Structure 1
């Protein structure tokens, strides 16, 4: 964690969402699923895409049927953040024919094996920053400049960057 998967997904969602008929960003699916269940996730997905419309169903299979039926001719953007269980994918984005032509599904996960077992068109794995870029990011955040201005802070800044291990969110 900490390389910015959620941040990247949110930026992509914000930049691309105007090109779709409907959109849904479900943050921290793992936690929501644990607390509220899969049916709650399905209702959230549908409600976001259909602008607050209320959906009344009480089991995952019925929810899957509704998603597949209501979205099969709709070009949608769906972002599923922090997926940790294959059931999340099965009940929320089941099959390609659940969504209209041109739809895009973006999934963030720490569990790469989930994506390997699912029909995925493309995968992107963010990497940690190299020391130079990490120092530049730290300087921007700490000193509002892309370089460390005071000599007193150069060594300390390098220690902080080294301690953060190149993780952008830590910096």
Structure 2
């Protein structure tokens, strides 16, 4: 973790959402699922897409049916953040035919094997920056220049770069 999957998903969601009839960003599914359960997540998804509607179902199967019937006629953008269990994918986005053509589903997960069984079209694997690029980014943010001219800060800059381990968001 820590390479910025959620941040990238939020940026994509913000930029893409005006092009869809409905949208849902479900943050930290791992945590919410453990606290509130999958039915709660299903209701959250539907409530974000259909703002004025109340959804009354009490089990995952009923939720699947409701999601399928409700979203199959709407072009939607759905982001599922921090998915760690295949049941989350099955319960929230089920099959492709649950969604109208043109809909997009973005999933962030630490487990790439989870995506293999779900007919995923594209997988983006964010990577850490190499030390040279981290140093350049750090200098740009800290000194408003992509190089450090003062000898006093060169060693300090290198320590910071080593500490963040290539994670750009840590800067």
> Is this a same-fold pair by TM over 0.5?
yes
TM (norm. structure 2) is 0.95
CA RMSD between the two structures: 1.3
Q: How big is the shift at 1:149?
A: 4.7
TM (norm. structure 1) is 0.95
Can you give the 5+ residue segments of structure 1 that lack an aligned partner in the other structure? none
Deviations 1:59-118 (A, max 9, x none): 110011000000001100000000000000000000001011100000000011101122
The answer to whether the Cα contact below 8 Å between 1:2 and 1:168 also exists between their aligned partners in 2 is no
Distance in 2 of aligned mates of 1:53 and 1:151:
62
Q: Which residue is equivalent to 2:8?
A: 8
Q: Which residue is equivalent to 1:170?
A: 170
Q: Which residue is equivalent to 1:47?
A: 47
Distance in 2 of aligned mates of 1:144 and 1:150:
13
Deviations 1:127-149 (A, max 9, x none): 11011221122223333443335
Distance in 1 of aligned mates of 2:58 and 2:12:
32
Q: How big is the shift at 1:14?
A: 0.5
Deviates more, 1:133-142 or 1:32-41: 133-142
Q: Which residue is equivalent to 2:60?
A: 60
Q: Which residue is equivalent to 1:137?
A: 137
* SS of alignment partner, residue 105 of structure 2: strand
Deviations 1:26-63 (A, max 9, x none): 11000000000000000000000112522111111001
Distance in 2 of aligned mates of 1:144 and 1:27:
33
Distance in 2 of aligned mates of 1:143 and 1:37:
46
Distance in 1 of aligned mates of 2:52 and 2:88:
21
Can you give the 5+ residue segments of structure 2 that lack an aligned partner in the other structure? none
Q: How many pairs are equivalent?
A: 171
Matches within 5 A, 1:3-42: 3-42=3-42
Q: Which residue is equivalent to 2:99?
A: 99
- Runs of 4+ in structure 1 deviating by more than 6 angstroms, as ranges, are none
